[in-house]
Structures are given as C-alpha cells and as structure tokens.
Amino acid sequence: MIKSILDNSENYQPGLSIDCVIFGFHDNQLKVLLIKVPHNEQWSLPGGFIPINEDIDTAAVTVLNERTGVEGVFLRQFSTFGKIKRNENHFDNELLEYLNINPEQGKWLTRRFVTIGYYALVDFSKIFPNPINPHEIVEWIDHKEVPNLILDHREILDKALDTLRVELNLMPIGYNLLPEKFTIPELQKLYETILDKKLDRRNFLRKITNIGILKKLDEKKSNVAHKAPNLYSFDKEKYDEVLKNGLNQGW
C-alpha cells in the first residue's frame, strides 16, 4: 500500500498524515482498535496519508476504512502532533528495502510528518474489522494492556483518553458505547473505566438522572445471579439536545 502511495505521491499532501483512535466498550473494558503490520513487532493506531483532493475530515474516514475496513464511524478531530523528530528513523534503510522502496522515493516518507488525531466512540458489537491488506492484523485491545506502539502513537492515545475524560464533563457518553438496553451499574462502570476511578453509586445515579437522557424501561436484566436490575435506554432526542447544548458538571 505504501509503495502504491509513493508511486502516486503527487496525489497526496506531503508532510501531513492522520491517525485514528477508535474506542469501544466490551466486558467492562474500554478497548482501542490497533493494527500490526508484518514488518514490525510494534502495534500502531490506524493511520495514513491525505489525498490532496479530499477534505481532511473526509480523508480521516477514508484512512480508517482502508486500514481497518471499518466504516460508518463519526470521527472527531482532537489534536495535532508535530514534534520535530516524531518520525525520525521510522522508515530506515532496512524497512525501505523490505517494502521495495528505493532511497529516492523514500525521501517522501522520511521527511517530517505532522499528524492530525481523530477519535471515535463506537458500538463494539457492530464493528467488524476487515483490513484491506490481508497481511495486517486488526484487533481490539484493552486500553490498559496496550503493547508497545510505533512513533508517538502512545502519546496520541493518551491524549485521546485525556480528551475523552475532559469531555465527560461537557457532554453525555454511552450512546455509541453501550448496547441499546443497559443497566445503571453498566453505565456507571463505563464512566469509571474511562475516568479510571470509582464513583459513588447514589451520586452517580442522581447526576445521570438529572441530565434527563435516560428512559427507564418496563424490563429487568435477565440471567443475573441476584436481584435483577432495571433496564434503561437513551432518549435519543434528548441525548442529541444535550450533546448540542453541552453540560457543565464534574465527575
């Protein structure tokens, strides 16, 4: 894929790239979608280069789809990363030779690249990674068990997490991360996992109820060992209204 881009490098914006942080929630774990390529033992975020005939937001969707097969995801731009030596020595002579890229073409890759970070919250059960490149591995990995990442991708991931934690105080979350029906303890666990701290049960219930985005269903969770808790769903109309107007609270 890189070789194809270099053969048509005039169609791509030089010195600029995109990296995507995709979060999903499953088994009480906040997971992140990562890629492993055959020529590197380290993992990476889904990323790529920007066609000169595409808007950056459109290019982010294209990059994510081409690297993972994931589509229909709303991506949010959250930061830019441009340290002087962020990609120094990443494409060394050994790697260029492995990729069958001559040194002259390789100069396009070895220049300084500034990357734009995007993140998304997705329903884990509805995302089925299917990379176009059959030699690449795409997996969901618990955010606390992320292995070594290439370049500054750990910094990008940490910044995305920090952004998500700040935005918990400014907007509701859960609609894209939880199943259609869920319990309050499951919603609280999602917040605790992202914030990496325990929350008082009664205080959480009061705050989340006061936002006004939940609908209590006339159903209880089945197949539980103890007293079955009530099931809830999000009121999509009110959820979207709060998203638009924002919140002002702390967790």
pTM for the model stands at 0.87
pLDDT at 226: 72
The pLDDT of 128-156, averaged and rounded, is 91
Structure-model confidence comparison of residues 221 and 89, the more confident one: 221
pLDDT at 3: 67
Domains and CATH numbers, the chain: 2-167 (3.90.79.10), 184-245 (1.10.10.10)
Spatial separation of the C-alpha atoms in residues 168 and 177, rounded to whole Å: 13
Output the CA angle 54-60-63, nearest 5 degrees: 95
Give the SS3 label for residue 30.
strand
The pLDDT of 67-91, averaged and rounded, is 87
The pLDDT of 84-88, averaged and rounded, is 81
Lowest mean pLDDT across 2-6, 66-70, 176-180, 212-216: 2-6
Reply yes or no on whether the pLDDT at 207 is more than 70.
yes
The structure tokens listed for 117 are: 């970070």
The structure tokens listed for 210 are: 């006061």
pLDDT at 225: 65
Phi, psi (deg, nearest 5) at residue 73: -110, 130
Lowest mean pLDDT across 36-45, 67-76, 83-92, 166-175: 83-92
pLDDT at 183: 94
Q: Which residues pair with 121 in a beta bridge?
A: 23
Spatial separation of the C-alpha atoms in residues 164 and 171, rounded to whole Å: 10
Structure-model confidence comparison of residues 188 and 249, the more confident one: 188
pLDDT at 100: 75
